[in-house]
Structures are given as structure tokens and as C-alpha cells.
Amino acid sequence: MKYEYKKEPELYTPIMMRIISKRDLTPDVRFFQTVPKEEFKHLDLDYKPGQFMMLSLYGSGEAPFSISSSPTRKGIFEFAIRKTGKITNKIFELKDGDQLGLRGPFGNGFPIEKMLGKDIVIVAGGLGAAPLRSLLLYILDNRELFGRLIYLYGAKNPQEMLYRPDFFEMLESDQLELHLTVDKGNEGFEDKIEEGMVTHLFKYVNDIDPKNTIACVCGPPVMYKFVVNEILKYNLEKHNILVNLERRMKCGTGKCGHCIIDYRYTCIDGPVFTYWDVIHMRELI
Amino acid sequence: MRVLKLSKKDEKKLYDVLNKFGEVWAPVPKGSRYVYDKIEKKEDLVSYNEFVRTILPIKKFLMPQDFNILNLSPSKFETPKVDIPTRVIVGVPPCEIHALNILDKFYTTDFVDNYYMERREKVIIIGKSSLPDEYLFSHKTNTSIVEEGYDLFFIDLGDYYLVWVGSEKGDDIVRLGSDIFSEDVPVDVAHDFVAYREKRRKAFTKHIDLEGVTDLMELMYDADFWDEFGEKCLSCGQCTMVCPTCTCFNVIDELELNKDEGHRRRYWDSCMFKDYSLVAGQHNFRESRAERLKLWYTHKLKAFIGHFGSPSCVGCGRCIITCPVEINVETVVEKLKG
């Protein structure tokens, strides 16, 4: 065997985490805060916004989830999880103090170095606000390292809007230009939430310097084409438009094959891709 | 590189030498085919003249079909301690050694897979050249001759074998077996060797021309023949199981009846299976069989080049023999070149 290699016995062995709190974000999305069971273990788990982790639940199995917390707030790992299948149904039965396994982080995450000093436009749709929260908090916690911060968020209705109280609070902030919309049913929130698709919020995005702006998009598959088309109107270069894709990984390490799209592994080459990376991919959506 | 000679009269002594390094495994007949099996007695170690294509390739030693990767309990997940025996695998053809080199690259790129490496370090490869049969087309995939990836490599030149030493382990073997491996390799051996090479080169009859298929995969992506193949495909996944470079796996947790402990199993999966690309919310990225076939051939003939510089088909011919409805590299390339 001619390859020199470092043994990584922990690669597939999750560490144990404890749930310290949870709350419902929407009728079927729950927010979990977890900490490692073992003290100081969080120091082994540094991560970047946009990365994901493999979550294990004893008796149910393992599935990938994007990290919703920011590495700037160390020690606590947060996930926004939608109840949608066998494993997530079981995760919803968990109580405070219950344990689950965690391994990772995996994936490339957002290219923070490339984003420093730039104006950032974030476009979130539905559950896309979960991974983008990591980036949003990261930028807010390092506000002086970035230029303008524009955040557009669209959901089906106000009840489906993740972190709604947090966003309402941020509407008052001068740290970012935040605009919220729902497909329909903004009654009672007219002063905070607009009605219409997320693309409709681009009317607030003005005076963009295309050479100095990076756009980050995450949402349901159907959203990408429409949002990217809007962004292209501002003459952003294709490699400065970042999309966060999701697939069902079984390993996180580029081996099991399940997350392959055309010739790229979502878990290694992604989940954050530039629009230029994926523009020719046929199986994107 | 060191090249030695092993006389055929000493061939029977080889087993005892190899057995000092570990279990001896070699192809043995099973029905009309062959399988790699453990050789318990030296009489059973047979060198076949014909090309030997085992049903499953040597990947089964490195990534078993189904094995336990974690011991589970409600409060702890632990990597199991397993004692993996050293196995000396005898009679591995060049195309399979190329496949092994591809697997080595694959499992050590980005992340090093510890389960693979544990097993890889316990495998000794004794390769052997033989004349091709009617299905082998490794001359068309540049995998008919090996330069690396084996510990020892045998070429049958009539009364004797030429033995190439490809690794330190291989060197240990020939040193321990110094009474049968001869350093006396006269220059005129080269004539026999060249004659053999030439004879072997001419013996290939399956000519599948892979040149340009990468671009054709791109251009023919929406061609009708994919749907025709999709109609025929049984989604049985045999092509992926027998392919020496297919690596996909699935992972599943299973509990014991008492529910206090369990195991996480890793087992071979196939991109031909319908639930392969299923994601949360029951969305399936590759609902149709045609889409799944395209994924496989895109990965083999195009995607792998982007990752590792060459396609991952080694021309072993297993898919040609195995697919019950004749969807294989040969018929796909035929359609691509239409």
C-alpha cells in the first residue's frame, strides 16, 4: 500500500450530544440546541457556516442536517429540523436531556475568506433559512468584516416563517437590510411581511456594486432558477452567486455515492456551490 | 524493479511460502464461473491457463458486502474492534489490479476511509497475466498491463514464471522463498517475454472503442436509446455488484431484540435501485430507470475522469456477462457511437 495516511477512527463514530432546549419554529419545524455530553468536546467540532453534520439517533439511524448556529457562538450546536420521515419523526419525540450522536462537520461551507469585505445578499426560501442563519449570525457577529448585508426571506405563510420573532426584531436593526415576504396570508403582519414570491423583494435591492457583491441562495429546489435570474440582472459574476444544495448523504465523506450530482459530490464539493459550478448540471433540481 | 524466475516444477511449493504470510485465497471454480475462495491445501492452489473472471471482484475483501461499522447503545457509539486476517490473494488479473489502484485513490481522497484501510493493509496481491477470453477488453481501457498495485506479479512463459516484485511485502515473500524463486534470469528471457506480450496483445477479440465517449455522454444525454434501455432494465443492480470499481453503500441501524444494543451496518448499495436518490419528503431525484442508468454510465465514463484523470471502467467484461438484459458497456458504447 503506497498511500501515506492518517488514521481517522472518529470519522464514522459520532460523539454524544445532549439536548438542552427545543422550541417549535413552525408547525413541523423544531429548533434543537445541543451540547456535547463530554466537557470541552465542542473544541473538536469547529465548523463553518454552510457545513452540515450527520446526526444519529439510537434505534433510528443517521441523517444529514445543516448547522443553524454560528461558530462565533461556541459550544452550542443548533439545528432546525423538519418532521418529514422516519428519523425526524423520532427526533421530534426527544425531550430535554435526551442524547443523540453527532459527527462532522462535513461539506465545504461558505467561502468566508472570499466573502470578507464584500457586500452580501442572502436570499432564503422556507427551510433555507436554517443553514443561512449560520451565515447571518456569523456576519452579524463579525459585522465590521463585511460590507452591506441584505437579507430577503420568503415563506409560504407567516406560520411557516422560521425564526419569525428574531426576524421581526432584526427589522428594527440598522445592521442589515431585511425584507420578508409570504406567498399569501400576511394578515396581521402587513407592516412587517409583504405578500408575493421572494423574487418580488428584489425591488428593494438597489445600488448593487456587482464587482463587490456575493449572493447566497438557499431554499426549495424550484426557487433557485427564479432567484438566480433576478440576481443576474444586477450583473453579478456567476461564481459570485452561491447556492446551498441538499442531498441525502449516508457518509459525509464522499464515499457512499448517494449525494452525487452529475460528477460532483454534494458532501465534498458542496453543499455550497457557485452558480458557475452547477449551471450545466442536469440533475440539479 | 526486481524480476525473478519461478520454475513450474517448484510451483507446488509456492503455497507454503505464501501461507506463512497469511491465509491464501485464489479463484476456484463454482458452476461455470469462478469465485475467490480460501485455499486450505496446497494441492488446491491451481494456476489456470485461461483468463479467470471471478463472479465478484476483489473489492469484496476490502469493502465487504455487509459488515458492522459501529456498535450502538443508547449512550454510546463505538467502532468495533475486529481482527481482520491477512489474506494473500493469488491470481489477480491486471484489470483488477487497476481497479484496486482506483479504489485506493477513491478511498484515500478527501477523507481516508478507516474501514477500507484496515482491510487494505491486510491484503497481499499476487497478480497473474493470462491470455484474454472473448469478453475481456482491458486493452481498450489501458488496463491490460500493470505497473503498480501488486506485491508480486506472475507471467507464465511456458516452463517457468517471470515474477515481478512490486512491493516490500513482495520482496519479503521472495526472500523467504529463496529456494524456489531464482535470481538467475538470463537476458534471453526477454525474447520469450516479448513473444508472450505480442501473442497476448493479438489475442484480444473484444474491441470496445471508448475513445471520445466522454463527449458523447454529454451530447447523447437526451438520446432516445436511454429510454429504450430504461424500458428493459430490471433495476436488479447486478452490474454494480460485479463492477470492480463500484463503491456505493448504504448504512442502516439495527437493534437487537432486547433493544439495549444494536449495530450500524454498511452494505453494498446500487444506484440502479429506485430508493438510491430518495431524499427527505419522498422526493426522488432519479425516479426513472433511464435516469439511473445515465447516472451509472456518466459516473463510469465521464465523472471519474474529472475526479481521477481516467474513466473507472477497467474492461473486465463482468457487466457484459452479468446483465440479464444486455445493458452493458459494450451495448451502451455501441449506441453512443451509433
Q: What is the pLDDT of residues A190-224, one digit of tens each?
A: 999 999 999 999 999 999 999 999 999 999 888 98
Contact criterion met (CB below 8 Å) for B239 and B272: yes
The interface residues of chain B toward chain A in range 162-201, judged by CB-CB distance below 8 A, are 167
Answer yes or no: is pLDDT of A188 > 60.
yes
Measure CB to CB from residue B302 to each of A14, A58, A263 and give the nearest one.
A263
Q: Cβ–Cβ of B306/A263 closer than 8 Å?
A: yes
Pick from B304, B235, B312, B282: nearest CA to A265: B304
**For position A285, what pLDDT does the model report?**
52
Alpha carbons B267 and A75: distance in angstroms, whole number: 34
Shortest distance, CA A2 to any CA of chain B (angstroms): 8
Best B112, B118, B267, B292 member to test A by mutation, with max A CBs in 10 Å, is B112
What is the residue-wise DSSP string for B149-174? Answer: S-SEEEEE-SSEEEEEE-SHHHHHHH
Bridge-based pairing state of the strands A260-261 and A264-265: antiparallel
Query: Are A84 and B112 a contacting pair at CB < 8 A?
Result: no
- Band of residue A249 on the pLDDT scale cut at 50, 70, 90: confident
Three cell numbers at B248? 456505493
B77 reaches A (C-beta below 8 A): yes
Q: With bands split at pLDDT 50, 70 and 90, how would you rate the model's confidence at A8?
A: low
Determine whether B327 is exposed, middle or buried from the number of CB atoms within 10 Å of its CB (0-12, 13-18, 19+): buried
Count the neighbouring beta carbons within 10 Å of the beta carbon of residue A272.
24
Do residue A12 and residue B271 have CB atoms under 8 angstroms apart?
A: no
- Of the residues A7, A10, A12, A18, the best mutation for testing chain B's interface (the one with the most B CB atoms within 10 Å of its CB) is A12
- Closest Cα in chain A, distance from residue B303 (Å): 4
Length of chain B: 338
Helices B224-232 + B329-337 axis angle, to 10: 160
In this predicted model, what pLDDT tens digit does every residue of B118-152 receive, in sequence order? 999 999 999 999 999 999 999 999 999 999 999 99
**Whole-number Å distance between alpha carbons of A77 and A88:** 17
Chain A residues whose beta carbon lies within 8 Å of the beta carbon of residue B70:
12-13
B251 and A251: CB-CB below 8 Å?
yes
- In this prediction, residues B50-66 reach a mean pLDDT of 95
Residue A96 has pLDDT above 80, yes or no: yes
Pairwise CB contact (< 8 Å): B248 & A253: no
**Which amino acid is located at B265 in the chain?**
R
Residues of B with Cβ-Cβ distance to A2 under 8 angstroms: 104, 148, 167
Which homologous superfamily does the CATH classification assign to the domain defined by A15-106? Answer: Translation factors (2.40.30.10)
Task: State the average pLDDT over residues A228-250.
Answer: 92
Q: Burial of B232 by CB count in 10 Å (0-12 exposed, 13-18 middle, 19+ buried)?
A: middle
What is the DSSP track for A183-213?
Answer: SS--TT-TTTEEES-GGGGGGG--S--GGGE
Within the 148-187 window of chain A, which residues sit less than 8 Å (CB to CB) from chain B?
none
The mean of the pLDDT values for chain A is: 91
B321 vs A: CB within 8 A? no
All residues of chain A having their beta carbon less than 8 Å from the beta carbon of residue B250 are: 250, 256, 258
Per-residue pLDDT at A77 exceeds 90: yes
B154 grid coordinates: 506472475
Residues ≥6 apart with Cβ < 8 Å to B297: B217, B332
CATH of domain A112-244: 3.40.50.80
Residue of B nearest to A6 (CA): B112
If DSSP codes are grouped into helix, strand and coil, which group holds residue A138? helix
Residue with the larger pLDDT of the pair B307 and A69: A69
Q: Give the closest-approach CA distance of B136 to chain A in angstroms.
A: 26
- Lowest mean pLDDT across A17-21, A250-254, B257-261, B302-306: B302-306
B114, B148, B271: residue with CB nearest A9: B114
**A5 in contact with chain B, both atoms CB, cutoff 8 A:** yes
CA-closest candidate to residue A248, choices A257, A239, A240: A257
Whether residues A257 and B112 touch (CB distance < 8 A) is answered with: no
Residue B280 is predicted with a pLDDT of 67
Distance from CA of B102 to the nearest CA of A (A): 12
Rounded Cα–Cα distance for residues B171 and B2 (Å): 9
Do residue B114 and residue A11 have CB atoms under 8 angstroms apart? yes
Report the alpha-carbon distance of residue A129 to residue A153 in Å, rounded: 7
Q: Does B258 touch chain A (CB under 8 A)?
A: no
What spatial distance separates the first Cα and last Cα of chain B, rounded to whole Å?
A: 44
Which residue of chain B comes nearest to A65, CA vs CA?
B280
**In whole angstroms, what is the distance from residue A260 CA to residue A264 CA?**
6
* Cβ separation B291–A58 shorter than 8 A: no
B287-297 as b/e: b if 16+ CB within 10 A: eebbbbbbbbb
Write the ipTM: 0.86
A102: which residues sit within 8 A by CB, 6+ positions away? A14, A15, A16, A17, A34, A36, A45, A53, A54, A55, A56, A77
What are the boundaries of each domain within chain A?
15-106, 112-244
Contact A258 B277 (CB under 8 A): yes
Q: How far apart are CA A51 and CA A178, in angstroms?
A: 24
B251 contacts on A by Cβ (under 8 Å)? 61-62, 250-251, 256
